[in-house]
A and B are shown apart, each in its own frame.
Chain A
Amino acid sequence: GENVEQHPSTLSVQEGDSAVIKCTYSDSASNYFPWYKQELGKRPQLIIDIRSNVGEKKDQRIAVTLNKTAKHFSLHITETQPEDSAVYFCAAPPDFGNEKLTFGTGTRLTIIP
């Protein structure tokens, strides 16, 4: 089955600096890679996703990069703000057409004002 590893488990950055979270996956057939943000006491919410036919996708201060050869993808947050503090999860489906998600262990991001 799919195995997703996520690093780091915790990350503290100064407000205004950038944050990078990395994930690796095992199943080369995976083709969809979402990132979820879970604020304290709230539900996980999709913040950005990428399909395997592109290498990078950007949405304002958030970007995701994908390296299919190396089987890893990363979340980049620039100009971090206090509201970016949350737990971030990467995920991948095991193979094409299989919709269940395998999640990474999560990264607790803290933005220091």
Chain B
Amino acid sequence: EAGVTQFPSHSVIEKGQTVTLRCDPISGHDNLYWYRRVMGKEIKFLLHFVKESKQDESGMPNNRFLAERTGGTYSTLKVQPAELEDSGVYFCASSRDGGDEQFFGPGTRLTVL
């Protein structure tokens, strides 16, 4: 089966600009997660979708971040306006309903200058 895919792989933007990251989960996976790793630190949870609904968004840092999963398939994460501290690698992961293993995408490396 095809794995989790993310686009773009890299993004370099200036402070104040907008960036939209996309994640395509494994087909049939109801659960979709966004995580972020900043400056070599731990991978931190951002939010969790079950199908198109936000199950848990407790990790979203502030209202500059907006995640959507219309139709319950792919998801987007928009950062608007981007700040320097938003730089990092954004990972998406998906899992089956009732499944434990979360399958990770390759990540999007975001650099805010």
Contact = CB atoms under 8 A, between A and B. Distances in A.
B7 interface: no
Nearest to B44: A103
Interface of B: 3-4, 31, 33, 35, 40-45, 48, 55-56, 58-59, 91, 95, 100-107
A44 B45 contact: no
Contacts, number: 55
Nearest to B107: A43
B2 to A, nearest CB: 13
A112 interface: no
Nearest to A1: B58
B12 to A, nearest CB: 17
A101 interface: yes
A64 to B, nearest CB: 14
A100 B59 contact: yes
User: Most A CB atoms within 10 A — which of B48, B55, B100, B101?
Assistant: B100
Contacts of B42: 4, 89, 103-106
Contacts of B41: 105
Contact of A44 (B48, B56, B104): B104
Given A99-B31, A101-B102, A105-B41, A43 B95 contact: no
